[in-house]
Each structure stands twice: as C-alpha cells, then as structure tokens.
Amino acid sequence: MTKTSTRGKNAFRGKKLTAYLAHIISPKTASTLTNIPRGAIVVDEEGKIVEVGEWFKLKRNYDGMVQVIDYGQKIITPGFVDLHLHLPQITQTARTGKTLLGWLDSYVFPAEARFADKRHARKIANWFFDELARNGTTLANVFTTVHKDATDIAFEIAAAKGHRVIMGKVLMDKNSPKALTEDTETSLKDAEELCKRWHGYDNNRLIYAFIPRFAITASKELLTGCGKLWKKYKGTYLHTHLAETKDECTFVKKQYPSARSYVDVYASHNLTGKNSIFAHSIYLDDKDLRALKESQSSLAHCASANFFLKSGFFPFSRIKKAGIKFGLGSDVAGGPQMSLFSVMKDTAYMQMDLWISPRELFYLGTLGGAKAANLDKVVGSLEEGKEADFVVIDPTRRTGVPNDMLGHNVDEILSTLIYLGDDRMIVSTFVRGRKIFDADKTRSTDKTLRSTKSAGKLKLA
C-alpha cells in the first residue's frame, strides 16, 4: 500500500486536481503489487499523478479542492503496453490457413499496398486508434507501411486522439512486392523527414521508430542507413522482427551467409542496443541471448501470433534467465486480437511446462512492457510523479464473472481479468489524464447509429 501524503492544502493551491476512485491494482515487480480496494489516484491538470492511496486518508488533503469521479465497484489499473503491432494489418485480422511468409504474400502485402491511397490510410488509421483505446492500450509500438503520406496521417490521427505511441514507417528495398519495394535512398530520406516532423511531439507522447521490416526485405545498405539514422536522432527507437519462424531464419542465412546468426545480422549493422525492440525472437541460441543482453536490447513476446501462425515457442525461461527485458505484443493481425488480456492468457497457454502467475502476466502487459521500452519512469504503473495513463475496468461486463468479484483476493481478480477479459471489460481509457475512450458514450453512439442507419459493413480490403 502506498504511503499517505503528509503535505498540507497549500501544496495544491491553484491547481486543478481530479481524484479517480475505484479498486486500485498496480504492479511493483513481477511478483508484488499495490492493491487498494477503496483507493484513489489524484491527477493534476498536466496529467501527472499526484498521489495514490486509500481515499479516506487522502481526501483530507484535498477537501474542497478536487473534482471527485467515483467509479464505485470497478478497477483502475495502469494502461496496457503493446510492444508490437501493425496498423494496416487490422484489416486482415483472423485471416488464417498459412504460416508467416505465405500469410504475408496472400493477405498482408496486398492490404498494405492499399495505403498508397490516402483516403484509405486515414479511414483505417482512425479505426486502428479507436480500437487501441477500446482495448485499454495506452502505449503502443506500431508498424505502419512503407508509405510516407500514410505514416504522416497515422501520426496526425494519433496526435489528435491523444494516444501515446512509438511508431514509424516501414522500410523495404528487396524481396518484397513491387508496390511495396522502395528505392533505398528515398526510403531512408522519407523516414528521416518523418522523424524530424514527429519525434518528441507533445513532450514525447509521440516517439519515432526506425523500422526495417525484417532482414529478408532489407539490403545491407538499408540496414546500415537505418542504423545511422537511429544513432543520429536521440531518443528514437529501432523496431523490427527477429527469428519468428524457421523458414524466415533459413532465408536470412542464405541472404547474409557471413553472419553467425540472425541477431548478428542486426548487430553487424549497429541495430542492437538500448531502445531496440525485437518482435518474436523465438529461434535464438545462447550466444544470441548474451549479445542481446549485453547490448541492452529488448524483446516483444507475441504469444497470440505465435499461436495463430504456428510459428513456434518463445523461450520464456531462457529469456528470463538471460536477464533480457521483454514485454508483450498483440502483433495484430498475426495475433487475432488486440486485447492485452488475450495476449496475457496466450502467454500462459503457450508455455506448456511452466506456470506463469497472474501477477507476472499482468506485470508483463503493463510495467514490464514499459521497462522493455525504457519508459517505466513515465508510465507502466500508478505511482506519484508518473503520467496518468490508466484504464477503468468492470469485470462484470463479461459473462461468467460473479457480481462480487471485487470481494475476492487480488490474485483471483487478476486471474479473472486475464482468462476472461477482453475489450468488453474496458469502461474508460486515459492517457496523460485525458479520457480517450468512454465505453458508455461509445455504446450510446453506436445505438443511435444503428437506429438511424441501415446495417452495413466496413469494407476491409
């Protein structure tokens, strides 16, 4: 439990404060957490957390000075951190029947080619960011497409809607469809211009990532140029795929025969290090793990996608033992759902010989992901001084959950959220103290639209 503040009223004079009341659950480590059944988080007008604690102890400090929003029998947790997903692939969710490389050719690359059309890019980007908020994701590490204009539009929409993202345009200059294959110099130039325009926007709410799709679709020149840009712009990220399938690894070995391993391909082009995030990372040997640890690289474990595309099993215990930081990624649309609850569940299911506690799964989807992104001093848990990225959850909005769920112990509550949870449980989503999703308002709008318009379907591809 957090310490109660000893500060007097004068410390808060002239500030606009809001206290959000509910059952507070927030991770401290993979095995410990803050659990306050009748708790509150107090947020200032800049979206920073002032205090977290038991409301009956805190309210004396704010009597008459704070707006109180009481969520009653609901839960407040940190917002979820999704370390790997693809904006354009939301149109291809649940397209099954093929493993990774065939799936890309059949579904993903044709869908991504459509983002040359700016109207299409805007429509899908709006949908994508609305879905992120609906699922309680408050920090997302996002692939867009190779299209400069479409990526610019995605940043514009994320900025307007209040999202926190790490994002960038994809870079591909070989072994890709003609419509998506770029001139190397132009690809790098476009990425740099987007970085200059968006990196650090709104006090680092939007952060730029340089994104070579994976080694298969990148020449040595592209990887080298990408590494130079990443090092040039302070605080940017390097985000790519690594060792997702055996077929991919075989292809990379033929393409880069002098490299010892897939990890070595990236390391030899200066693409490993702090603020590098590698998605999947299934087929790694001990030397690879040491190299990733020593370089302070991080991983995104995409359990749902590995499950869906039958890619393989993330070496969970070996990664932990090696001391490599990692969090979770939905990998939409390789992963068929954007909800981090589903990814937590699949993370447990995919480790057949390992029991992962609900606390650890919850940690990986929140503070663990923030640590992997080196943003844990800003978000990932509900603590004084951090930015107020949080979600309000009502477990009873999901069938099969008893109405007295909050009367159970915290491990049972977390287990219920993880194994039964999805977007239906999310009541509201906040980034930096700003509400970016309100389920009740959305349901009301949807109901109005259904009553005034004939039923129709969004054309996805």
Summarize pLDDT for 105-137 with one digit per residue, the tens. 999 999 999 999 999 999 999 999 999 999 999
pLDDT band (50, 70, 90) for residue 444 = low
pLDDT at res. 6: 44
pLDDT at res. 171: 98
Q: How far is CA 440 from CA 39, 60, 311, 446, 447, in A?
A: 23, 31, 38, 10, 11
Q: Which of 189, 203, 280 is nearest to 242 (CA)?
A: 280
pLDDT at res. 264: 98
> What are the boundaries of each domain within the chain?
9-78+382-446, 82-356
Residues contacting 71, CB < 8 A, separation 6+ = 20, 21, 22, 392, 427
Q: Which of 214, 210, 229, 116 is nearest to 174 (CA)?
A: 214
Q: Which of 12, 11, 165 is nearest to 84 (CA)?
A: 165
Residue 10 pLDDT > 80: no
User: What is the residue type of 155?
Assistant: F
pLDDT at res. 335: 93
pLDDT digits (tens, 9 = 90+) for 159-206: 999 999 999 999 999 999 999 999 999 999 999 999 999 999 999 999
In this structure, are residues 54 and 380 in contact, taking their beta carbons and an 8 Å threshold? no
| d(C-alpha 366, C-alpha 393), whole Å | 14
Residue with structure tokens 């996805």?
A: 460
pLDDT band (50, 70, 90) for residue 64 = confident
Q: Output the CA torsion 307→312→316→318 (10° steps).
A: 180
pLDDT at res. 94: 87
Q: What is the mean pLDDT of the chain?
A: 93
pLDDT at res. 2: 43
pLDDT at res. 97: 76
259 prior amide bond cis, ω within 30: no
Alpha-carbon dihedral sign for residues 138, 139, 141, 143: positive
Phi, psi of 455 (to 5 degrees): -65, 140
Just give the CATH number of 82-356: 3.20.20.140
Residue 253 pLDDT > 90: yes
Just give the CATH number of 9-78+382-446: 2.30.40.10
pLDDT band (50, 70, 90) for residue 337 = very high
Q: Express as a percent the part of the chain with pLDDT over 70.
A: 93
